[in-house]
Structure 1
Amino acid sequence: MANEDLDLFLQEMSGVKRLDADVLADENGAGAPTLAQLARRKAAELEAEYDPNYLSMEYVDLVKPDDVLAYKKDGVQEGVYKNLRLGKYQTDATLMLLGKSLVEARSALSQFIRDCHQRGIRTLLIHHGMGRDSKPHPAILRSYTFKWLQQIPEVLACHTALKAQGGYAATYVLLQKNAEQKRENRELHQKR
């Protein structure tokens, strides 16, 4: 069967000639990037290389001031998420974003999450406000905060806080364990 296929293939290819060059070049150079395109590419590479803050300032799905913010990564146990939602975990650190511009809030949130993760702090409370009177759209900072929390790899889950801890103006955040905590946990539960 394989010999028949090979014979058929060779028969079909009998009149085909090899090309002189492997690459066809456009004589006009129309396919080459322009100087402006090269400059933009270089600028984008430099920005991506030096910007430690990868959180997007692009389009955001707007949430209403009284929408419940709820996010959970796959693999987070339902019981853990339920305890977070119900405020049963002690919040070990709080960040106040009220009154900050989006750029300031983005930077502060990124740095805060990074610091807390390095220190082994697992449960946070972010105060972003409800944004009823924010212009041009209500809850703009709240919307971006929710979007950014979902982009940060260390964030396992987040949920709107209980009324006593800020309600719609605040969000609980659960971070994953850092490397040291994971090592301790492995040692604790290691079978001997």
Structure 2
Amino acid sequence: MQDDDFSLFQTQMRGVRRIQVDQAETGKPKTDRQQIAHRRENATQRTDAIKVDGLSDQFVIDVGAEDELYWARDGVQEGQMRKLKAGQIPFEGSLDLHGMTVEKAREILWDFLAEATRLEIRCVRVTHGKAARLDGKRPLIKSHVNTWLRQHPQILGFTSCLPRHGGCGALYVILKRTMLEGRDE
């Protein structure tokens, strides 16, 4: 009877090849580190694609050189913002606006955010500086960046950086993503 079972098994297995791979397919794709590195590199480069930005200078929120900035769009989870403030969400691109005119900073910031959005980047750092001015006036770029980011449709929130990343002179900015890993709203 055992011979019958064995011969029946062999008959059924005719034409079947033994699997050479001894690892299970989990269905989860491996992280493409080269693609991530490419996205990071591109996020720091300027693009001239978008010129009309829709950001208003009608009412600029005046902030002090040492003021910590924090803002979150309605519906953004407090836990996400706590992680952002603690520097637990790694930034994948960085922009430095030091020494620029307000108009130049606006153009560069808009282009930078457009590229980061296109590349589905989650978090970036924007260095605006503190610009403690001798004439006693508030820092221009910092105040404008604070106002512009609140108006930008792709920004979910921002907070001043940890001291090692620029402190009150820089911001962690969290952006919406739409395609790669689902919506963040």
TM-score by length of 1: 0.66
Residue 180 of structure 1 and its aligned partner are, at CA, apart by 4.0
| Equivalent residues of 2:51, 2:107 under 8 A apart | no
- Alignment partner, residue 158 of structure 1: 158
Count the aligned residue pairs: 135
Residue pairs, 1:1-192, within 5 angstroms: 52-133=52-133, 137-182=137-182
Contact 1:118 1:178 in 2 (8 A): no
The one-letter code of the counterpart of 2:178 is N
Higher relative contact order (CA 8 A, sep 6+): 2
Distance, in Å, in 2 between the alignment partners of 1:110 and 1:154 is: 11
1:90/1:133 CA distance change after superposition, 3 Å: same
How far apart, in 2, do the equivalents of 1:73 and 1:100 lie? 27
Show structure 1 runs of 5+ residues with no match.
Answer: 1-49, 186-192
SS at match of 1:150: helix
CA distance 1:55–1:63, shift in 2 (3 Å): same
Corresponding letter in the other structure for 1:103 = E
- Structure 1 stretches of at least 4 aligned residues deviating more than 4 Å after TM superposition: none
| Structure of higher CA gyration radius | 1
Q: Please give the alpha-carbon distance, in whole angstroms, between the structure 2 residues aligned to 1:79 and 1:179.
A: 22
Q: TM-score, normalised by structure 2?
A: 0.68
For residue 119 of structure 1, what is the amino acid of its counterpart? L
Contact 1:96 1:126 in 2 (8 A): yes
As a proportion of its length, which structure holds more helix? Answer: 1
Q: Does the 8 A contact of 1:134 with 1:140 survive in 2?
A: no
Instruction: Check whether the contact 2:158–2:174 (CA below 8 A) recurs between aligned residues.
Output: yes
Aligned partner of 2:72: which letter?
A: K
